[in-house]
Structure 1
């Protein structure tokens, strides 16, 4: 990534952790593509903040569950800013339910966004991220805790971790590193949805640092993985969870 103009795509970057990742990479000097599926106002707000702070960003709509949309996302990124150096597969959803009560619709949608979406990104990234670039996937530290009501979500993220390890070996000869970040509980709208205050307080009690994470905590890790300094880190799952597990 010696070229002074560097380009990054962040999927699901319209709010929460994704928005923080896009803002941080833009602050690091990346021309950043803020991907969204259905929230153009939120995505444009992220872009506006980046531009106001002197960065470069554009919002691009694409449902990562659709292969053609992911190809078009790369096409637009390349047309706007040139070859892609960093891909962050952040887009994800969660629906909490005991396994026996998971609906077919919720199962299929989590598979579509979390697993198929990440696969679509990794496949396209493997073909089009520049030599020496970075592919960074988002997993979860719930893997290892296996909390009730998180079964399908955990399954999708465990599959993403498996592909992360394999793709790292497949792209190593090109100097492209592939890693995943596994956040612990982070104070976002996605995290709070469907969880009781009592449940949240129990989670906080399990964290040695005594607090929920903030999106900026995850952004700092992704910033490092996107930088030249991380060049010897490859095929790793990095837990950013305050020491919870």
Structure 2
């Protein structure tokens, strides 16, 4: 019988230096992960990575930070190879990488379109590919998407559009990797109380989003808190292994399918 606990497991988290990725790393450390590799995109994020590393090491976890721009297949392959070299083959792989753009279709440039799909779709695809190659049997793979996949709204065409393919990547990978006991899921948070959200939104839109979820009145800001997402990730990479091929919207009733 496979061990689906977190204790003693090795973890790779893309985008693990800050915000939700950092919280997931620290949460899994607190629940017994043995070794964690956190990925960060650029030198600008290195101070965040160092702070997260310090927290992980203080918790007694073997931890390493790895830099990569994941918008090429080669970079995704190197990230997994570097992880294996530093801490061993991962049991758990989590991709929190993403970029948001709020803009009318008529004003969106080709360069913006290409960037959004490279970060949100291409990077996700090749992360899933490399996870299938490098994860140990009975591993767990989770990709962060967006609750806008359940929305009927303007202005997020490239963001929600570039995250939408990840639903099928997840379904296909779950079928292809299932023979090795690997579960593959995606989580779509609602708008989260992080700089990732506020950089794209005008004050009136922020006010709307803060009251749009069915449970908004019972949260600190009205938005999804990263602390509300980490337990769902922990569940899916442990006892929740039987759920696979699914995209779960975790948003307090912000959108649904």
Task: Find 1:87's aligned residue among 85, 93, 115.
Answer: 93
Is 2:59 the partner of 1:56? no
SS of 1:142's partner is helix
Is 2:30 the partner of 1:27? yes
Is 2:200 the partner of 1:190? no
Report the Cα distance in structure 2 between the residues aligned to 1:24 and 1:238, rounded to whole angstroms: 20
Report the Cα distance in structure 1 between the residues aligned to 2:183 and 2:159, rounded to whole angstroms: 25
Task: Find 1:213's aligned residue among 195, 205, 224.
Answer: 224
Is 2:178 the partner of 1:172? yes
Specify the alignment match of 1:224 in structure 2.
235
Q: 1:132-143 maps to which residues of 2 (within 5 A)?
A: 132-143=138-149
Is 2:22 the partner of 1:11? no
Q: 1:65-214 maps to which residues of 2 (within 5 A)?
A: 65-210=71-216, 211-214=222-225
Divergent runs of 4+, >6 A: none
Specify the alignment match of 2:219 in structure 1.
none
Say whether the 8 Å CA contact 1:10–1:35 is kept in structure 2. yes
Is 2:45 the partner of 1:42? no
1:12-34 CA distance string (max 9 Å, x none)? 11222112122212222221111
CA apart distance, 1:243: 1.3
Tell me the TM-score normalized by structure 1.
0.95
Unmatched 5+ stretches in structure 1: none
Q: CA RMSD in A?
A: 1.5
Report the Cα distance in structure 1 between the residues aligned to 2:111 and 2:24, rounded to whole angstroms: 29
Tell me the TM-score normalized by structure 2.
0.90
Which deviates further from its counterpart, 112-121 or 14-23?
14-23
Count how many residue pairs are aligned between Structure 1 and Structure 2: 244
